[in-house]
Amino acid sequence: MGNVTSNVAAKFAFFPPEPPTYDVYSDEVEGKLVMSGLSPEKNVDVHLLDTKGGNKIVATFWRHPAGRFTLLYSHGNAADLGQMLELFLELRAHLRVNIMSYDYSGYGASSGKPSELNTYYDIEAVYECLKNEYGIKQEDVILYGQSVGSGPTLHLASRFPMLRGVVLHSAILSGIRVLYNVKVTFWFDIFKNIDKIRNVNCPVLVIHNCKLIHKAPEGEDCEGTNDEIVDFSHGKRLWELAREKYDPLWVKGAGHCNIETFPEYIKHLRKFVNAMEKLSFSKRDKVQTDPSQASGELKTNKCLMFTKK
């Protein structure tokens, strides 16, 4: 059994940038943590959080003065927080939300080694920081998982029934399913999102790339994939399995790592956040949606890498 698990881990690899793209140090004058590349006027708090796995991970809280919600962002595989700064600035400004971001164990200035279990410990520690340090309630949190970040995102979302919403960006059904077209979930699989999505009670927005096909007389349609890493079928199936489906965003012609560069990306996210503002929380009204296709201006960021053998 150990050999099988090792083989899966070898093929589904974590790729933290080497060397890390930033440093965290203590400001002796201010007496607080500082992250290189972030000036004080950016209004960002830097934290070192202890996890159940015994690691210390870096987390950053990007405060918006009028932010109603907080986006808890779990980034893709081949990235660390130093590469995400410009994207977070854009998202905070356009969506008018606070953003809580973090580096997984073994990424950036976070200690330890990356693993599936550690990503779960990591996001749990970040959520506790939001609750205890900032007094943010569960119903004011929107989870955002990009690529491999969909794993910790759905881990948390499946356990907290009163979250405001979930965004799955180029998400995976599971680790094995990225590598092989299998129909069942094996015990040694990792990031079993296909099972956890069924337990998510809040509205789910799925964002994924696809390729264009033409069907006369209906016109353009969207299926298949332009994603060399995670097939369009992953996003489509996760959307189908979601209990509360929000209007998905299928980004025609995009690749795995450049969805943020398409103008419909930020427009659709803003629409989603606005819809969450109007959501009747006491009744947990279902968000009624229809499938849509969209093409998508924003800076791209690093994301997920898998080794296919």
Is 47 among the catalytic positions? no
Q: What is the distance between the alpha carbons of residues 93 and 144, in angstroms, rounded to a whole number?
A: 16
CB atoms inside a 10 Å sphere around CB 125: 21
Q: Do 61 and 98 meet the contact criterion of CB atoms below 8 Å apart?
A: yes
Amino acid at 266: I
Alpha helix segments (H runs only) across the chain:
2-11, 85-95, 116-134, 150-157, 175-179, 193-196, 232-241, 263-278
- Spot the catalytic one: 101, 105, 110, 147: 147
Is 280 among the catalytic positions? no
- Spot the catalytic one: 80, 140, 227, 231: 227
How many residues appear in the chain?
309
**Prior bond to 217 cis, omega within 30?**
yes
Q: What is the distance between the alpha carbons of residues 109 and 107, in angstroms, rounded to a whole number?
A: 6
Contacts of 293 (CB under 8 A, 6+ apart): 210, 220, 221, 222, 250, 252
Is 268 among the catalytic positions? no
Tell me the catalytic residues.
Answer: 147, 227, 256
